[in-house]
Amino acid sequence: MTRPGGRWQNWGRTEQVRPRRVERPSSVGAVQRAVQSAARRGLRVKAVGAGHSFSAIAVAPDVLLDLDDLAGLVSVDPERGLATFAAGTRLHRVPALLAPYGLAMENLGDIDRQSIAGAISTGTHGTGIRFGGLGSQVASLALITADGERMTVGEGDGDLLDAVAVSLGALGIIVEVTLRCVPAFVLAARESPEPLHEVSEDLLARSAASDHFEFYWFPGTDLALTKTQQRRSADTPTRPLSPGARVWEDVVVGGVLHRIACATGALVPASVPVLNRVSTRVWGGREFSDASAAVFATRRSVRFAEMEYALPLHRLMPAFAAVREEIRRRGWRISFPIEVRTAAADAAWMSTSHGRETGYLAVHRYWREDPVPYFAAVEEILLAEGGRPHWGKMHSLDAAGLAPRYPRFADFVAVRDRWDPRRTFSNPHLERILGG
């Protein structure tokens, strides 16, 4: 289906555009025709999933491909643990599609609204020092190249899979993703507020001792909201949250009350420290176990802007301390917590955890507040610590600033030059971060 372009905006309301036209292909053939048509007219084409990137990476000034109708399970090989999905499949749909085969995704982030292709292309990750980002789960990808041909890249193609696993949307339109899945499993979760100084001192030990560990810190408080998860076999008895408890924690506290607190803080900044202390006391303090996907992801209904940097693991806590001091020194009233996670090294060329164990530090700002001064100051600290920005989140770097941070940056650009010399899949953001 083709229609004139109206206004498109991302979830966080940080980017918007009026594309010349919007197409909603429901088949691989329709994607091919859309790319071929755009190329003949000298138009650029970008695929869009859920719009959960805060950066302009998916902005489509010319032709926007909405892949919502290109969704679902294409095939599955239970013996080998391989499952192929159409590119527009939302992550929150994947668990039900895999359940009949006793399979699950190895790891997930804390938001599951994204399309599978968009999440992989931007380097989305979860937490867990023994687990890489979503790109590390990819066994093969099928994509439509600039000449409209379908190309499949898999494990038999040398390190080319590492080039396309985190492709930033710069190499083609992904139409199918084959994931290496694992047997379904249960997660036992404990969430609790703990003294910040204790968590800061033994973060690395906690990360090593847990399958998945992360914490949140509300600026101006002395508590960390910790989340610890241990993997259990699928036949382990579970203690899921009751419907009432889930509604209270995720909808009322994490949604309604947090939105009120953020809106109040935006109008009356002096109220933020008190509201943050209340939030720290209200959130957390629960233990439960459930199927993995039900534990990994959390409903997010309060809009925000986000910047996240990947740091060498040993620099994570010094960077966190420096950010805390900067907030204190500036007297900023920040109503959203800082999130701290860890992840394994992986091989994808453009993965933020390429070649090194990684700590992630994410800062957020309520969507009705200007994030720029806060993000700019934090970014300066994180860059000095060897940080790499998350591709789907806000940052200020260009190709000159990014190239020294990625050992395979030039190799990736060379693949782009070969596959898309006319820049059919480019946009102003990609021109900035990869070069023209």
- Tokens encoding 142: 């099928």
Whether residues 48 and 168 fall in one domain: no
Find the radius of gyration of the CA atoms of the chain: 21
Q: Is residue 396 a part of any domain in this protein?
A: no
In a domain, 156, yes or no: yes
Angle in degrees, CA 222, 274, 241, rounded to 5: 70
Is residue 402 domain-resident? no
**What separation in angstroms does the CA of 242 have from each of 95, 245, 252, 286?**
20, 5, 14, 12
Q: Is the confidence at residue 232, as pLDDT, over 60?
A: yes
Task: Report which DSSP code applies to 186.
Answer: E
Do both 129 and 52 map to the same domain? no
The one-letter amino acid code at 292 reads S
Over 70: is that where the pLDDT of 5 sits?
Answer: no
Q: What angle do CA 209, 210, 211 make, to 5 degrees?
A: 130
- The conformational region for residue 168 under phi > 0 = left, psi -120 to 50 = alpha, else beta, is left
Task: Please identify, among 354, 374, 389, the residue that sits at the C-terminal boundary of a domain.
Answer: 389
pLDDT band for 281, please (50, 70, 90 cuts): confident
Q: How far apart are CA 401 and CA 420, in angstroms?
A: 23
Q: Are residues 87 and 47 in the same domain?
A: no
Give yes or no: residues 341 and 218 share one domain. Answer: yes
Q: Is the dihedral of CA 94, 95, 100, 104 positive or negative?
A: positive
**Maximum separation of any 2 CA atoms in the chain, in Å:** 61
Q: What is the CATH number of the domain that holds 297?
A: 3.40.462.10
- 102 and 241 together in one domain: no
Give me 226's structure tokens.
């910790």
302: number of CA atoms within 13 Å, CB side? Answer: 24
Residues 82 and 157 in one domain: yes
At 65 the three-state DSSP class reads: strand
Phi, psi dihedrals of residue 372, rounded to the nearest 5°: -60, -50
Task: Answer yes or no: do 107 and 246 share one domain.
Answer: no
Which has the higher per-residue pLDDT, 80 or 252?
Answer: 80
CB crowding 14-27: b at 16 or more within 10 Å, else e? bbebebebbbbbee
Alpha-carbon gap, residue 128 to 105, rounded angstroms:
14
- Model confidence at 350, pLDDT cuts 50, 70, 90, reads very high
Residues 119 and 218 in one domain: no
The rounded distance, in Å, linking the Cα atoms of 220 and 197 is: 13
Q: What is the mean pLDDT of residues 160-175?
A: 97
pLDDT over threshold 90, residue 418: yes
223/300: higher pLDDT: 223
The Cα-based distances of 230 to 176, 243, 339 in angstroms read 31, 22, 19
Q: What is the pLDDT of residues 354-384, one digit of tens each?
A: 999 999 999 999 999 999 999 999 999 999 9
Q: Are 417 and 37 in contact (CB under 8 A)?
A: no
Q: Which of 302, 237, 235, 308 is nearest to 265 (CA)?
A: 302
**Quick one: CA dihedral 324, 283, 240, 189, positive or negative?**
positive
C-alpha to C-alpha distances, 411 to 394, 407, 417, 422, 434, nearest whole angstrom: 24, 9, 10, 18, 11
Q: Assign residue 152 the CATH number of its domain.
A: 3.30.465.10
Whether 243 is in a domain gets the answer yes
Q: For residue 211, give every residue at least 6 positions away whose Cβ sits within 8 Å of its Cβ, in sequence order, or none.
A: 128, 130, 131, 187, 229, 230, 231
Of 66, 83, 115, which closes a domain? 66
What backbone torsions phi and psi does residue 293 show, to the nearest 5 degrees? -65, -30
Residue 238 is encoded by which pair of tokens? 């579970």
Which of 66, 90, 114 lies at the terminal end of a domain, its last residue?
66
Q: Count structural domains, the chain.
A: 3
My answer on whether 286 and 378 are in the same domain is yes
CA distance 131 to 357: 10
Query: Is 277 within the bounds of a domain?
Result: yes
Report the CATH number at residue 62: 3.30.43.10
Per-residue pLDDT, 285: 81
Tell me if 354 is assigned to some domain: yes
Q: Which positions ≥6 away from 156 have C-beta within 8 Å?
A: none
pLDDT higher than threshold 90 for residue 431? yes
List, for residues 18-54, the tens digit of each pLDDT value: 999 999 999 999 999 999 999 999 999 999 999 999 9
The parent domain of residue 251 ranges over: 185-389
> Is 154 a member of any domain?
yes
Mean of the per-residue pLDDT values of the chain: 94
Q: Identify whether residues 160 and 202 lie together within a single domain.
A: no
Distance of alpha carbon 34 from alpha carbon 40, whole angstroms? 10
What's the helix, strand, coil split of the chain in %, to 5? 35, 25, 40
Nearest of 292, 213, 283 to residue 250 by alpha carbon: 283
Whether residues 198 and 326 share a domain: the answer is: yes
Q: How confident is the model at residue 246 (pLDDT cuts 50, 70, 90)?
A: confident
**Percentage above 70 pLDDT, the chain:** 98
**CB-side exposure of 144: number of CA atoms within 13 Å?**
26
> Rounded distance, CA 206 to CA 209, Å?
5
- Whether residue 329 lies inside any domain: the answer is yes
332 and 250 housed in the same domain:
yes
Q: Out of 107-116, 173-182, 255-264, 313-322, which region has the weakest mean confidence (pLDDT)?
A: 255-264
Assess contact for 173 and 141: CB atoms under 8 A: no
